[in-house]
Chain A
């Protein structure tokens, strides 16, 4: 049973990776800034994208931690 749960956890991680990529491509990569000059616009947009990407990674880790606790609760307690 514990081994089946590990396979399930890998499957969930796979889906989360694909979904996370989707959010980055469809939403985050579209962000653009204008009005500060070409170089500054690009720089500010890059910083905003980087911050959002980092927040997404932290969120992803938190989701995984919650899932890990839920899926492996019995095993971890044991």
Chain B
């Protein structure tokens, strides 16, 4: 039996198809990644899985049972880490954890024990007595995660949990996610940071404009762009003449300017350098550097949508 199955899930807001008949499955014990740019429909999807938003169509099955018909079994075993810091700023870290423990029905010595364990996992044990409005952004994020772990959920949904924090806290959070997964927790991780999803997730679905445009393991997704090379070129001067000359090379699939570089994709890596040098020599521009990119999910997204993940 599939741990979580999403079938033909649909949600429209007026004329906007936020989620448009998507399908995917999450297996027990895996970290499943939902990758996509802002506005792709990731948050709406997890809001529907969390039972917060009712879909316009389709269904979600938790251990074979529809959560639309009976949300209680999932709600008891579900932990959600929202993108926002969903905590009470004027309360202390301890008071926040105690309240969220209460929300999941924990009380007394069991709650105390869980607060102890969770505060160790998220690494803020020594700051629990302080009001969280005095915490750093990273500490708030960690407490935000801790509040979702108190009842030892089977399924943890993390919606962009590392937005706006320092690299140290980010690394701590990523390590925490791996550690929780090692203990058997199933995790759905959404992010628009390709590196995080690559680092954490065993299977990934890429979303764009409310649809899943590709699914699989990282290796399977990279296979999509097998043979495609991405080359970033830096010039002293980027002109229309230069771009026109490069586009004359027949086996170049795509040319775009990203920041101060010209990014090209091609499936002929053998002759490309010679032809580029010849074409550039016909212009006033000179090549400053050439960077051949290793295929990654960013490339896959670019290949599939024609735009960068962070656009």
A binds B: no
